[in-house]
Structure 1
Amino acid sequence: MNLAEAFSCTDLSSKASTFAQRNFIEVVRHDEFLELTIETLLKLLSSEYLCIEQEFQVFEAGLKWILYNPSERRQSLVQILECIRFPLIQPTKLFNCIESLQDFSLRIGLGKLLEEFDPKKRAMSLRSPYSKFKIEVTPRHSARKYMVILGGYHRAKSGRWHEVRPIADVYRFDSFNRIWTPYPNIQYPRSGLTVVSVKGFIYAIGGENELLLYDNVEVLDPLEMKWRDGPSLPRPLSGHNSCVIDGFIYTFGGFIGSEVTDNIIRLDPDEGKWRKVGSMPTQRSNFALTVVDVSTYRCGQYPQHSVQTIQRWTSQVQLKITRVGIHCRWLSRGADKGLECYNPVTEEWTQLARMKHSRGCFGMAAIGNNIYAVGGARAGRDALQYVEKYSIDENKWTTVKSMGVARADPCVASINGLLFVVGGRSASHGHTPPHTLDDMESYNPETNAWKDEEPIPTHRCDAGVVIM
């Protein structure tokens, strides 16, 4: 970027700027970022199109640039702070970072300049009556996150066991404005499907409508906002799971007719063909998935043995690891607490810490280096409120605050450091079947508290969820 601007290469400079915005987190890791001029840095940090998970990452980037040469760059501190949207940053996290700085003068300067956001002074009612900086509370355009939920099935409170209606409805949740809006319906109502996103395209993969299994893959074009048929699965699947690793869509296990498969198949979206790339140790079905950042974790089910496992893959090409957590959602003979780690490079299994509560039919998502097991069921008809947190660093489970509503088979996802739980099904009472839910809750790990959110317009269970 510096070189392109120095030689007035407008087109090259524009392309470099676009690349830096789209790959901001990766760009910040490289030495070239530290060599940026203050003018180029300010232009980058103030961009509406930084692809970030949270605003705190912009603060960290600006701080990293200053600390590379603090004696000369300290004078640019105020200019850099003006690019950052502090109301969007968790105050405790912000000031923990500031207090950990070894540079004394920078620590004092930041503490003074940002005192209006200091939770300690806010508690003592000493917050400044005016702001030193422009208060921007709207997330950057490319940082806004949407949760898309599609498919599933519906059963009313007064419904009978057989009165299950597959759903074609699709809704998008705006995580900033906290509202649901309709999205184009999928062509084929289904539950037990998986949903992933690649380059802005949403893929709805497999699933079932009552006893009919689908090999169909539907793709939503973000420009035309229409669903079209995508590359069909080799065979109809339900109860499988899918994730995206290095731009490829991987699908694991599931039902093929009355049989459970151990297949791992992969789709290259550009080529449009599915290929078998491996096998799981045993056949399994009905598990869910969450992507973390650097490693791949999977918690699945052996239908014959009712065992939950966590496995880990390493991407040898990229020399990085993508974490994927896959949880068991239905157990034929109850739930288990087991947790294992599998490395496909060495083909070794590692026994990990066991959960405190046995559960099946639960949701799982990751925030940072923690994986959360949410709700679930025991003996098939129960519904649980329990939530546990697994620390990847410590290999340890701890219990966190329970949800307000007991639920099994919910949609679970993480957005901007919060855990969202949507829908699911209630417990059954006697001969009364469980009914599907429409309510949503969010969990804040910083405060260990749950908050009621806007309900989804159509209550559902066993649906697909993806973050855009």
Structure 2
Amino acid sequence: MADHMSVPGDLDGPCSTLTTTQPESPKIPFHKKILLKVHQLRSNRRLCDVVLRAGDTEIPSHRSILAAVSSYFTAMFTHELMESRQEVIEIKDMPGHVLSSLIDFAYTGDIELNVDNVQEILSASSLLQIHEVQDLCCSFLMKQLDVSNCLGIKTFVEANGCPQKITSDIDRFACRHFQQVAMGTEFLSSSSENVSSLVSSLDLKVSNEEEVYTAVIEWIKQDPEERKTHLPSLLSHVRLPMLSVSYLMEKVDTEPLIRDQPECRDLLDEAKRHHLLPHQRDIRSPIPRFHPRKSTVGILYAVGGKESSESITRSVEIYSLLDDSWTEATGMIVRRQQLGVGVLDGKVYAVGGSDGSLRLSSVECFDPATNFWSFVAPMGTCRSGVGVGVLGGAMCAAGGYDGRSCLNTVERFDPDKNLWSNIAHMSTRRSFPGVAVYDGQLYVFGGNDGTSFLSIVERYDPHINRWLTIPSLNKPRAGIGVAVLGSQIFVAGGNDGTSRLDSVEFLDIRTNAWQTVAPMRSARDGVSLCALGNQLIAVGGINGPSYLRSAELYDPVSNSWEDLKSMQTCRAAAGVAVIKC
């Protein structure tokens, strides 16, 4: 990276309309010719009407030029200030060579910046309100940004009134490189305000919350007597409830800095209760530490689906909540729509579905470690419109359509034995149901029995191998998305036989009752739904005339949906799954 550059200002513009018969040469814009001529006059001390003095340096200038480039001089020369009548104006606390560079810029639009002078020039241009130079200095500093200096640069640009976007860009850089930043001496010597701003960010890129906790404790230990008063505030920004129980007990609970302060012990007790009483977790809590950071929620896989009325895809895309971006992943071996998708041992399984001609019994498995799909044992029955849930280290495929009738049969896949076996039948035949797992039990919602759309909900208890009927959906629907947040199971979109739906309802397991929440921004039949952290992502579907590639996010804290970056491919009746980081 270059450590200096000559930076041109924005002085280009329309050329003079004069013509010439001389040999062609690069044309200098008329206004720049004028400025260069005025600069020559200034260099010869001709027609100057003011002298700026900084220390032993005197700089003859023209008031009109200074006022045109600097709000500071505009105010000085156009108001009844003493300086407006002085022939020599003293500029205090500014090196002469820095002032000279800035006045040269006023006449030429050029200034040389390097690592040795950029801080002086930025400070001086901020004082004199020469905004173009401020912007050039900020751009130069951004090019020098690295993990060893980003926090210092942030402090400096904030002190010199740089645009908020610059500060935001530096924050984003520091968050994306937090692991390296936190290991540097600049972090350890940084202010409590800088540390707080960093560790409170939802966009902090970390593998786990342990990294954040460790960084805070290491910062305190650099000067414990002086800094320990900041620990309760900083620890409140660490998402202690997201730490494992073993880490809380073995690391946090035994840390003397934590044990010595009641406020810190209260935060630790709060995190312990989060683990001990999972049924009392409130997904609508506005307190940030009860919600995981974007970088730790996992990666969403959108698998297969129907792109259009004629096209079924084998493609796969993955979504990062931190980046709000979709990227193409390795495609399946077989084209599939109306499939079920589940995750076992960090691997994605694509189950059954339809290739447009046949109902499928085949099952594929994607291993992120090898980046390959491979076949595993097929189901005993072909199933399109199948619902899939992972229960106790095994995967269950419920219902579906075999080409002749809707099914009430359920199969269980044991990945260790690579074997499917039958479990108890559901009481109701159904294709296109929604499936979820909560507290070791399998829930199946709605669907279509071949004649009507269903609101019936069943729950499977593996301990007694039996299905039980529980309160029905508020509205019959098939082609739905289902996902679990806290102790609530959400059901979104689908089709009720009359229209495609945008409505969303949830079953509160604690009360065994249904409630509605804000509808999605778009009706989505054949929608895929999953939880990322404490939020929901609705992916694809069909809204009537169009197959959708859009996605939207539900925030239970605000009870609202917002649009996310769209997929590259339209997908209806696809499958989604999340692999944890």
Residue in 1 that maps onto 2:454: 307
Report the 3-state secondary structure (helix = DSSP H, G, I; strand = E; otherwise coil) of the residue aligned with 1:212: coil
State the identity %: 24
1:457 partner SS: coil
Residue 282 of structure 1, CA deviation: 3.3
2:189 corresponding residue in structure 1: none
- Asked if 2 retains the 8 angstrom alpha-carbon contact of 1:56 and 1:94, the reply is no
| TM-score, normalising length: structure 2 | 0.51
In the TM superposition, 1:198-213 aligns within 5 A as 198-213=344-359
Query: Aligned residue for 1:154?
Result: 307
Q: Partners in 1 of 2:560 and 2:244 — Cα distance?
A: 26
The amino acid that maps onto 1:421 is A
Distance 1:182 1:48 in 2: 31
Matched ranges for 1:5-20 at <5 A: none
Q: Does 1:447 align with 2:555?
A: no
The amino acid across from 2:398 in the alignment is F
Give how far 1:59 is off: 6.5
- What amino acid maps onto 2:242 in structure 1? V
Gaps (5+ residues) in structure 1?
A: 1-43, 98-135, 156-162, 317-343, 428-433
Q: 1:288: Cα distance to partner?
A: 2.5
Q: Partners of 2:209 and 2:492 in 1: how far apart? A: 36
Q: Match of 1:284?
A: 430
Give the CA deviation at 1:90.
9.0
Q: How does 1:314-353 map to 2 (within 5 A)?
A: 314-316=461-463, 344=464, 347=466, 349-352=468-471
When residues 146 and 291 of structure 1 are mapped into structure 2, their CA distance, relative to the original with a 3 A threshold, is farther
Offset at residue 442 of structure 1 (A): 0.4
Structure 1 contact 261–283 (Cα < 8 Å) conserved: yes
Give the deviation of 1:447 after TM superposition. Answer: 0.9
CA distance in 2, matches of 1:251, 1:166: 21
Between the aligned partners of 2:210 and 2:355, the Cα distance in structure 1 is 48
Corresponding position of 2:210: 46
Letter in 1 for 2:502: Q
SS in 2 for 1:165: coil
1:145 paired with 2:291, answer no
1:216 to 2:362 alignment: yes
- The aligned amino acid for 1:400 is V
1:379 Cα offset (Å): 2.5
Q: Which of 172, 178, 201 is matched with 2:318 structurally? A: 172
Question: In 2, distance between residues paired with 1:435 and 1:91?
Answer: 33
Contact 1:145 1:176 in 2 (8 A): no
TM-score computed with the length of structure 1 as normaliser: 0.63
1:190 partner letter: R
- Deviation per CA, 1:97-128: give whole Å up to 9, x if none: 9xxxxxxxxxxxxxxxxxxxxxxxxxxxxxxx
The structure showing larger relative contact order (alpha-carbon pairs under 8 Å, at least 6 residues apart) is: 1
| 1:182-209 C-alpha deviation (Å, 9 max, x unpaired) | 1100111110111111111211111112
Does 1:271 find its partner at 2:424? no
Aligned AA (1:257):
G
Which of residues 372, 384, 387 in structure 1 aligns to 2:501? 384
- The aligned runs of 1:230-269 (5 Å cut-off) are 230-269=376-415
Q: Equivalent of 1:75, from 260, 271, 290?
A: 260
Q: Distance in 2 between matches of 1:413 and 1:299?
A: 15
Cα distance, 1:443–1:240 mapped onto 2, change above 3 Å: same
| 1:203–1:349 CA distance, 2 compared to 1 (3 A) | closer
The answer for the alignment partner of 2:241 in structure 1 is: 57
2:322 and 2:212 map into 1 onto residues whose CA distance is 15
Distance (whole Å) between structure 1 residues aligned to residue 535 and residue 293 of structure 2? 17
Structure-2 residue corresponding to 1:362: 480
CA offsets 1:41-65 (integer angstroms, 9 cap, x no match): xxx9725899xxx945236958889
Task: Name the CA distance, whole Å, in 2 between partners of 1:260 and 1:358.
Answer: 17
Give yes or no for the alignment of 1:400 onto 2:517.
Answer: yes
Check whether the contact 1:422–1:439 (CA below 8 A) recurs between aligned residues. Answer: yes
Deviation for aligned residue 1:458: 0.3
Partner of 2:542: 425
1:438 aligns with 2:555: no
State the Cα distance separating 1:223 from its structure 2 match.
1.6
- Determine the C-alpha separation between the residues in 2 that align with 1:239 and 1:46: 41
Question: As a proportion of its length, which structure holds more strand?
Answer: 1
User: How large is the RMSD of aligned CA atoms in angstroms?
Assistant: 3.9
Please identify the structure whose Cα radius of gyration is greater: 2
State the AA in 1 paired with 2:348.
Answer: I
1:94 equivalent in structure 2: 287
- 2:388, 2:395 within 8 Å by CA — same for their partners in 1? yes
* Separation in 2, partners of 1:466, 1:351: 26
Q: Which amino acid aligns with 1:397?
A: W
Structure 2 residue identity aligned to 1:404: R
Q: 1:458 is matched with which residue: 569, 575, 581?
A: 569
Write the distance in 2 (CA, Å) between the matches of 1:152 and 1:200.
22
Q: Secondary structure at the match of 1:436?
A: coil
Query: Could you tell me whether the CA contact under 8 Å between 2:446 and 2:454 is conserved in 1?
Result: yes
CA distance in 2, matches of 1:190, 1:67: 47
Task: State the Cα distance separating 1:451 from its structure 2 match.
Answer: 1.2
Report the structure, 1 or 2, having the larger helix content: 2
For the structure 1 residues 268 and 72, does the alpha-carbon distance in structure 2 shift closer, same or farther, using more than 3 Å as the test?
same
Q: Which stretch of the first structure deviates more once superposed, 293-302 or 54-63?
A: 54-63
Question: Residue 527 of structure 2 contacts residue 572 of structure 2 at CA under 8 Å; is this kept in 1?
Answer: yes
The AA in structure 1 aligned to 2:241 is Q
Q: Does the 8 Å CA contact 1:359/1:378 hold for their aligned counterparts?
A: yes
Picking from 458, 482, 491, the partner of 1:373 is 491
Given the superposition, is the C-alpha separation of residues 153 and 348 from structure 1 closer, same or farther in structure 2, using an over 3 Å criterion? closer
Are the structure 2 counterparts of residues 48 and 250 from structure 1 closer, same or farther at C-alpha, using a change threshold of 3 Å? farther
For residues 346 and 477 of structure 2, what CA distance do their matches in structure 1 show? Answer: 34
Letter in 2 for 1:278: A
Give the direction of change, closer, same or farther, for the CA distance of 1:219–1:355 in structure 2 (3 Å limit): closer
Q: Is the 8 A contact 1:292 1:367 kept in 2?
A: no
8 A contact 1:292–1:368 mirrored in 2: no
Partner of 1:181: 327
For structure 2, the 5+ residue unaligned runs are 1-207, 215-237, 272-281
Q: Give, in whole Å, the separation in 2 of the partners of 1:46 and 1:78.
A: 20
Q: Evaluate the alpha carbon distance shift between residue 314 and residue 178 of structure 1 in structure 2; reply closer, same or farther with a 3 A threshold.
A: same
Summarize the Cα distance change of 1:311–1:370 in structure 2 as closer, same or farther, 3 Å threshold: same
Question: 2:387 and 2:362 mapped to 1: Cα distance?
Answer: 15
Q: How many angstroms apart in 1 are the aligned matches of 2:369 and 2:257?
A: 46
Task: State the shift of 1:72 in Å.
Answer: 11
